[in-house]
Chains A and B, each alone.
Chain A
Amino acid sequence: MLDYIKGFIELIKGLGITGKHLGMHAVTLQYPEEKDVMPERSRGVVVLLSDKEDGSLNCTGCLLCMKACPTAAIIIDAPRGEDKKRVLKKFELDFTLCCYCGLCEEACNFSALKLTGKYEYSTGDKDDLLWDVNKLQDVGRDVDYEDKRRKKVAKKPAKPVVDANAKVEDKPAKAVEIKPTESADDTKPKTEGEA
């Protein structure tokens, strides 16, 4: 009989603990309206970084990130030009494969790409998750980063020629026009295709 009374008291205690939480504030956020602040190191969407001064891509097409990627999500086509320098023809990142491990960022010596705290890029179409160089660059325009490149590399207008395909032919010109400071509208990753 004593056990039952004891048990009953314990049951009441349990109710007390859950009842106590009724008055507490919720720890969850109402997501689309409120957003959590992502930490600086957060590894979300991979973006291509642009030069802080002239807005050109930092990428030199050295293939290091492609070699470091464990899921082969990065596809780069950068054949060597006449002056033995690589010309970036194609840079694609397949987010259906990407595992956000951050090895590409660590492999890169030119601060060309970075995993950012952005995460809102879901889409109803799988094909939209294959981002080409323009999209990767546009998304990354407002990203602040620490330039790892040596000064002389930074000064050089290492402008890669982007002529991946006919569809986005007019994009490079546009990409130069947009100043990094004016690209606040591009903070939100677009879900529609670039074409």
Chain B
Amino acid sequence: MNNEELKAYIESNYASLMTFCESGKYDLWFEVKADNLVRVCQKLKDDPELLIDYFCNLGGVDTTENFEAVYNLASSKKKIRIDLKVVLPHENPSVDSVQTIWPAANWYEREMWELYGIQVNNHDNLTRFLLPDDWDQGYPMRKDWDAPDFIRFPDL
């Protein structure tokens, strides 16, 4: 299944759940509502045409207006790639955990919570692991993050 077929397939079968993102390059990017996320993921995994069984990556993005949680998924059997984007508000961002679908998401969600402060609901182990245990300086990957000893690279 190449990208056009995949796009056509998703737009016909998942029209109400996923909307196409223009910002994505090379691969297909879709936007998913935070409430639908787990449902969409489960459906993608179970869909015999897609069989998205492989969880590549999950990363947060701080676009300064809002947060995005980006899920990069793939299928090892159908050899396709698909990216999901969940746009979250800047105040109290929270997203549902997908670790019941792909256990691999566990650490990625933890990391996103730790570095971006995006709350992950139904996560079994939201504890710090990249930053020190006694970290109290906020969420360092946010764009507006600052700390007394943080020196920005000189802009030349």
Contacts and interface: CB of A to CB of B under 8 A. Distances in A.
Interface string B133-156: 000000000000000000001101
Contacts of B153: 72
User: What's the interface size class on A, roughly?
Assistant: under 10
A133 to B, nearest CB: 20
If over half of B's interface residues share one DSSP class (helix, strand or loop), that class is named, otherwise mixed; here it is: loop
A190 interface: no
B51 to A, nearest CB: 42
A52 interface: no
Contacts of A67: 156
A72 B153 CA distance: 8
Nearest to A66: B156
Nearest to A67: B156
A66 B154 CA distance: 11
A156 to B, nearest CB: 27
A83 to B, nearest CB: 24
The 3 closest A-B pairs by CB, nearest first: A67-B156, A72-B154, A72-B153
Interface of A: 63, 66-67, 72
5 contacts: A63-B156, A66-B156, A67-B156, A72-B153, A72-B154
